[in-house]
Amino acid sequence: MKKIQMVDLKGQYEGIKDTVKDAFTEVLESSAFINGPAVHSFQKELEEYLGVKHVIPCANGTDALQICMMGLGLQPGDEVITADFTFAATVEVIALLGLTPVLVDVEPDTFNIDIQAIEKAITPKTKAIVPVHLFGQCANMDAIMELADKHGLFIIEDNAQAIGAVHTFTNGKKQKSGTIGHVASTSFFPSKNLGCYGDGGAIFTNDDALAHTIRGIVNHGMYRRYHHDVVGVNSRLDSLQAAVLRAKLPKLDEYNSRRRDAAKKYNQAFANQPDIVLPKTVNDCEGICDSCDCHVFHQYTLRILNEKRDSLVQHLNENGVPCGVYYPIPLHRQKAYVDSRYDETDFPVTNQLVKEVISLPMHTELEDEQIGFIAELVLNHIKV
Ligand SMILES: *Cc1c(COP(=O)(O)O)cnc(C)c1O
């Protein structure tokens, strides 16, 4: 059996090696390292794949989030609501811009932002909501878009973990994640579902005026060479990264379906275990998505009940199986983000999840034998 890894980038690379090498050579020969033709082509191809009017590539997913907020013209003092249970980048950029982060609890089954908690947190100062499509599945965008309409709020989708996922609205309409809100950000960090070989990110929007504003912001606030109309940043996707992404984009759906296959096999192995809660998929496909793309399993995350999580992590590691705890500390308890407005009783779910979640190896190259080995280790430990 091949050594089990959390993410197997090498194995995936083997399958696209020739395409990537040729694309790299083309960039090297052209010497167009920044804003070269590869970046432009990737932008067009991603717009087509997502069905969105504008993709604006940038340097990483954290920049992408920050630039979304700058583009929307959010001002110091404006309140931005986001999930307590996510990667820190989301709240970091809110704070960096002098905006006020307002963290709210998540749902226990999907791990995504809780709608009632959002409603409770809305004040006259609230300007935007950042739903994070955590672990590969869209937040409840039906309810979130309704709240946006009702209260006149901007929706910034943090799509770093869910590229390729499809959200089905209650009226049956389907839309790709990251194309539903006013604007969205994504990351091409190597381990993401669509990852490059360094840092990369992008912003998506269907709003022409916002897209124009953002194209200037990523390039030092320039709309005409050496005319700086707004304060901008330097945030670019380089051509070598765009070349990798062009090689991988045509395979994204296949990659995502391989992740779903692995998730399905894990689910079968862990079914009906009283101490294991399987990841829930929203479309009532009981966590086993064959035909729908509601979940792209950036992470395969279980809840382990009865305080067995920490010993399970240890058991797996001792047996050479890597695993992750995403995330071990709620953001509202991180030193950088503590705020007197928060009350512990507002975060019952996140406070529980940080003690229960475990993410198992999940990538495009997982073999049945490896899944079987991991599942057996987990079950042996949990059944006792
Ligand atoms: C990875 C990630 C980011 C940040 O992306 P970078 O490219 O690493 O800056 C932001 N939000 C979420 C939810 C992420 O998972």
Question: What gap in Å lies between CA 93 and CA 65, rounded to an integer?
Answer: 7
- CA-proximal residue: ligand 1, atom 2 (nearest): 160
Cα 30 to averaged position of ligand 1 atoms, centre (Å): 30
Question: What gap in Å lies between CA 305 and CA 127, rounded to an integer?
Answer: 37
**Which position has the token pair 């389907």?**
174
Instruction: For residue 213, give both structure tokens.
Output: 């504003």
Q: How confident is the model at residue 290 (pLDDT cuts 50, 70, 90)?
A: low
Number of the ligand 1 atom closest to the C-alpha atom of 201: 7
Q: How confident is the model at residue 383 (pLDDT cuts 50, 70, 90)?
A: confident
Number of the ligand 1 atom closest to the C-alpha atom of 65: 10
Q: Is the CB of 161 under 6 A from ligand 1?
A: yes
Question: What gap in Å lies between CA 134 and CA 107, rounded to an integer?
Answer: 11
Task: Evaluate whether 104 touches 125 at the Cβ level (below 8 Å).
Answer: no
Instruction: For residue 361, give both structure tokens.
Output: 């190896």
Question: What gap in Å lies between CA 227 and CA 115, rounded to an integer?
Answer: 43
For the chain, give the mean pLDDT: 95
Question: What gap in Å lies between CA 153 and CA 236, rounded to an integer?
Answer: 28
Cα 50 to averaged position of ligand 1 atoms, centre (Å): 19
Q: Is the CB of 61 under 6 A from ligand 1?
A: yes
The percent of residues above 90 in pLDDT, for the chain, comes to 95
Average pLDDT of the residues in 52-69: 98
* pLDDT for 122: 98
- pLDDT 10s digits, 313-360: 999 999 999 999 999 999 999 999 999 999 999 999 999 999 999 999
Q: Is the CB of 187 under 6 A from ligand 1?
A: yes
Cα 292 to averaged position of ligand 1 atoms, centre (Å): 25
* pLDDT for 288: 56
Average pLDDT of the residues in 133-158: 98
Number of the ligand 1 atom closest to the C-alpha atom of 133: 13
Does the pLDDT of residue 112 top 70, yes or no?
A: yes
- pLDDT 10s digits, 210-265: 999 999 999 999 999 999 999 999 999 999 999 999 999 999 999 999 999 999 99
Q: How confident is the model at residue 293 (pLDDT cuts 50, 70, 90)?
A: confident
Q: How confident is the model at residue 95 (pLDDT cuts 50, 70, 90)?
A: very high
Return the CA Rg of the chain: 21
- CA-proximal residue: ligand 1, atom 14 (nearest): 160
Q: How confident is the model at residue 282 (pLDDT cuts 50, 70, 90)?
A: confident
The percent of residues above 70 in pLDDT, for the chain, comes to 97
**Residue in 91, 93, 186, 189 to alter for ligand 1 test, most ligand atoms within 8 A of Cβ:** 189
Sorted by where each starts, the structural domains of the chain and their CATH numbers stand as: 9-250 (3.40.640.10), 252-382 (3.90.1150.10)
Question: What gap in Å lies between CA 19 and CA 301, rounded to an integer?
Answer: 33
Average pLDDT of the residues in 159-188: 96
Cα 75 to averaged position of ligand 1 atoms, centre (Å): 23
**Backbone phi and psi for residue 40, each to the nearest 5 degrees, phi listed first:** -65, -45
**Backbone phi and psi for residue 356, each to the nearest 5 degrees, phi listed first:** -115, -25
The pTM score is: 0.96
Average pLDDT of the residues in 368-374: 98
Q: How many CA atoms lie within 13 A of 120 on its CB side?
A: 14
- Crossing angle between the packed helical segments 368-383 and 309-318, to the nearest 10 degrees: 130
Does the pLDDT of residue 269 top 90, yes or no?
A: yes
Cα 160 to averaged position of ligand 1 atoms, centre (Å): 5
- pLDDT 10s digits, 152-173: 999 999 999 999 999 999 898 9
Instruction: For residue 218, give both structure tokens.
Output: 């990523």
Average pLDDT of the residues in 128-136: 98
Average pLDDT of the residues in 186-209: 98
Q: Is the CB of 89 under 6 A from ligand 1?
A: yes
Task: Evaluate whether 236 touches 219 at the Cβ level (below 8 Å).
Answer: yes
* pLDDT for 286: 56
Does the pLDDT of residue 284 top 80, yes or no?
A: no
Q: Is the CB of 201 under 6 A from ligand 1?
A: yes
Q: Is the CB of 189 under 6 A from ligand 1?
A: yes
Task: Evaluate whether 332 touches 351 at the Cβ level (below 8 Å).
Answer: no
Average pLDDT of the residues in 64-83: 98
